[in-house]
Amino acid sequence: MKRAMWGFGAAALVSGIALLLVALGFAGVWVLLAFFVLGLSAIWAAVNYTAGSNPYGYAGFGDVSVFLFFGIVGVCGTYFLQAHTLPMVVLLPAAALGCFATAVLNVNNIRDIRSDKLAGKITVPVRLVAICAESTAVHL
């Protein structure tokens, strides 16, 4: 499984670099480097969410990662690739999409509260207990 994970990670990295060169051929080195770092950060976040010696998804930090990568980074990065600019107003739909993705994660984790607690996974719904977690998911 680890070999497959590293193989697909490498394939994602190579294809990401190729796509960046095509999409941002106009841009300077700093823009390419910023997207490269964001891509590496996304791969690191995906792997360390549940893998490794201390997965952050089991410590209640998965929500922050989902909000950032599925909301802020995804929307703002896509907007910049299309428009070659990034006005601050783009943060509003980015935050909204991040909240939706985080709500989906919370609803999934609410279902697993008992098993997560028994397994030692401290997700946000485990910390908040079911009633508060449901309210949080609705408000997101």
Q: How far is CA 93 from CA 5, 67, 98, 113, in A?
A: 32, 12, 8, 30
State what percent of residues in the chain have pLDDT above 90.
29
Q: How confident is the model at residue 127 (pLDDT cuts 50, 70, 90)?
A: confident
- pLDDT on residue 102: 93
| Residue keyed to tokens 């590496």 | 40
Q: Where are the domains of the chain?
A: 2-139
* Mean predicted lDDT score pLDDT of the chain: 86
- pLDDT on residue 116: 86
Give pLDDT tens digits for 30-55: 888 888 899 889 988 988 988 878 88
User: How much is the average pLDDT of 114-137?
Assistant: 79
